[in-house]
A and B are shown apart, each in its own frame.
Chain A
Amino acid sequence: MTLLTVRDLTVDFGSGIRAVDGLDLDLDTGQVLGVVGESGSGKSVTSLAVLGLLQGATVSGEIRFDGRELTTLDQRSLRRLRGDRIAMVFQDPLSCLNPYYTVAFQIAEAYRAHHRAGRREAHKVAVRMLERVGIPEPERRARCYPHEFSGGMRQRVMIAMALCLEPDLLIADEPTTALDVTVQAQILDLLRELRREVGTAIMLITHDMGVVAGLADHVVVMHQGHAVERGAVRDVFRRPQQPYTRGLLACVPRIDGPLPHRLPTLEMTG
């Protein structure tokens, strides 16, 4: 069943900058869609457009989520969707958590934004979520502030916050980019596990082909605001049709291949 359909999405910022240009996306319930591309290809702008969080931009085209058109939805209804049915995990978990509140408070706050729940009840939910995303001693750690956590733990908090309402769609914008490699693997495992348990569809935005290969069912390759290639992950990785995709794949070092003298880089186009 189709959960999210994006048709001809175009995002313009003032002074003639077009970040996304006629993009189409489809995401089915419970599926993982990888959106890959280099910096500035319009990936993050697309995710913010879905949530209606873009400021100072003109958005045109269609964004249909579960049968509802989001681009014309009023702020109030959009707010009800955010967090509850569409949640988001951002790239840099330190700057995305408010330094003035405990991690449990920030998770509980998301829960209380959509449920009639008292502070104690919401706090219990937060502790349970912290446990679920693998924070040791969740009872005690719940009262910590973001600066007392490591990068990986902060990202776990972000994921706990996003998943405490069991959303239909999780938009993960570069969820592992700010983390070191071992922690990246843990976070990807966590996302995979939660997807299986909760059944949340994930729109995974990344520039890292390895992340897509490990988690996504389908992939869309973006370049300069367009989708240049799309398809099942296996097909795109085995038989990339576009030169750009081939270039992107060639930039990823292979653990089982011959060691190149120097890694290929993307040639600047346009």
Chain B
Amino acid sequence: MILYLLRRLAVTAAILVVICAASFAIFYLMPADPAQGACGKACSPERIAEIRATLGLNRPLPVQFWDYLVGIVSGRTYGTGAQAVNCPFPCLGFSFQTDQPVWPMLTSRLPVSISIALGAAVLWLAVGVAAGVVSALRRGSLWDRAAMTAALGGVSLPIYFTALVLQYLLVVKLNVLPYPRVVPVTQDPAGWAQSMVMPWITLAMLYAGVYARITRGEMLDSLGQNYVRTARAKGLPEVTVVRRHALRPALMPIVTIFGMDLGALLGGALITESVFGLPGVGKLAADAIAGADQPVILGVTLFAAAFVVLANLAVDLVYAVLDPRVRAVG
């Protein structure tokens, strides 16, 4: 088991290096000159040359990439002598727009993204799985058809549309919610929840539809299994039959996609955060893209990729705990 874990961690690290290389290549092969971006408008050619030297842009690309990787692992120093700027571990460079180091920018935005992702996840899991289970148990009923139509609708509606409609209805028309803003959960839990409700619903509508459809399919499959018939033949109450013998196996594929979805969302819900103006990692990415802020874009990309890859690792470990057959092999 420990060997398996080490092997998986090594693979995870390798994947991250590959992602790093790919995004690095894309951003530094683009026609936009990073030195120009760092310097801003109306910059003298001497100044640009100076920045080029400080950032190491005059060196070969593989060397730059190596420096970038070293910076992530152990921090690095830009420039030499009196102008030297230290970038502490884990160094992802400095933002062209604000001159801030990228790593603290990411971590300071993270709580907002976590608030959005976790709250939405609880909501869509509860709604999606419950709706899917009931649909499977009453296959072909009016409820089943209504729920599956609603699920299709939820999946089809774009986030910016749902978000704007919600905002218009709940904030402008009915006045039941304040406009979303950042309220730390530690200071004012009620206010935090209130400002997060709309992003939660927006994201949950999208994902709950997917989860309801998957749950329904998996439940129909497991309800037809012979061991469910055995459970009934034992005289177990129907509730126990459904929960213990049908739902538990049906949840396995849901664990898989849930891990990946949550990982992706922790790396920033770009559209949702932008529409509601919440300063999470996704909003940071949107702003960086708008301002061609290459170090920040690169940083967010890696950050989000790391979440997805780590979530996948977590899913595989959870799988080993949940499924005795996987445990035996691992």
Contact of B227 with A53 in the complex, beta carbons under 8 Å: no
B181 to chain A: which residues have CB within 8 Å? none
Contact of A145 with B324 in the complex, beta carbons under 8 Å: yes
User: Does chain B have a CB within 8 A of A125?
Assistant: no
User: Does chain B have a CB within 8 A of A186?
Assistant: no
User: Does chain B have a CB within 8 A of A88?
Assistant: yes
Contact of B325 with A83 in the complex, beta carbons under 8 Å: no
Separation of A79 and B241 alpha carbons in the complex (Å): 12
B238 to chain A: which residues have CB within 8 Å? 75, 79
**A59 smallest CB distance to B (angstroms):** 16
Contact of B237 with A90 in the complex, beta carbons under 8 Å: no
Contact of A145 with B226 in the complex, beta carbons under 8 Å: no
Contact of B236 with A113 in the complex, beta carbons under 8 Å: yes
B236 to chain A: which residues have CB within 8 Å? 79, 83, 109-110, 113
Shortest Cβ distance from B227 into A: residue: A98
User: Does chain A have a CB within 8 A of B76?
Assistant: no
Q: Looking at chain A, what size class is its interface with the partner chain?
A: 20 to 34
User: Does chain B have a CB within 8 A of A148?
Assistant: yes
- Other A-B contacts than A80-B235, A90-B233, A109-B234, 7 sampled, CB-CB below 8 A, are A79-B238, A83-B233, A96-B226, A113-B234, A113-B236, A145-B325, A147-B324
**B243 smallest CB distance to A (angstroms):** 12
User: Does chain A have a CB within 8 A of B245?
Assistant: yes
Contact of B235 with A90 in the complex, beta carbons under 8 Å: no
User: Does chain A have a CB within 8 A of B232?
Assistant: yes
**B223 smallest CB distance to A (angstroms):** 10
Chain B 295-330, CB-CB to A under 8 Å as 1, else 0, gives 000000000000000000000000000111100100
Contact of A90 among B230, B244, B328 (CB under 8 A): B230
A101 to chain B: which residues have CB within 8 Å? 244
Chain B 21-46, CB-CB to A under 8 Å as 1, else 0, gives 00000000000000000000000000
List chain A positions with a Cβ less than 8 A from chain B.
Answer: 51, 53, 75, 79-84, 87-88, 90, 92, 95-101, 109-110, 113-114, 145, 147-148, 158, 161
Q: Which residues of B from 263 to 277 have beta carbons under 8 Å from A?
A: none
Residue among A79, A82, A98, A147 with most chain B CB within 10 A = A98
Separation of A126 and B324 alpha carbons in the complex (Å): 20
**B168 smallest CB distance to A (angstroms):** 46
Contact of B328 among A79, A80, A98, A148 (CB under 8 A): A148
12 contacts between A and B (CB under 8 A): A53-B229, A79-B235, A79-B236, A79-B237, A83-B236, A96-B227, A97-B230, A98-B231, A99-B325, A110-B234, A113-B234, A147-B325
B237 to chain A: which residues have CB within 8 Å? 79, 113
Chain B 231-257, CB-CB to A under 8 Å as 1, else 0, gives 111111110100011001100000000
B231 to chain A: which residues have CB within 8 Å? 98, 109
A95 to chain B: which residues have CB within 8 Å? 225-227
Contact of B235 with A81 in the complex, beta carbons under 8 Å: yes
**B325 smallest CB distance to A (angstroms):** 5
**A122 smallest CB distance to B (angstroms):** 12
Contact of B328 with A147 in the complex, beta carbons under 8 Å: yes
Separation of A7 and B22 alpha carbons in the complex (Å): 75
Contact of B234 with A96 in the complex, beta carbons under 8 Å: no
Contact of B235 among A84, A92, A98, A99 (CB under 8 A): A84
B234 to chain A: which residues have CB within 8 Å? 82-83, 87, 109-110, 113, 161
Separation of A173 and B227 alpha carbons in the complex (Å): 14
Shortest Cβ distance from B322 into A: residue: A100
Contact of A110 with B235 in the complex, beta carbons under 8 Å: yes
A161 to chain B: which residues have CB within 8 Å? 230, 234
Shortest Cβ distance from A99 into B: residue: B325
**A126 smallest CB distance to B (angstroms):** 13
A99 to chain B: which residues have CB within 8 Å? 227, 249, 323-325
Separation of A145 and B248 alpha carbons in the complex (Å): 15
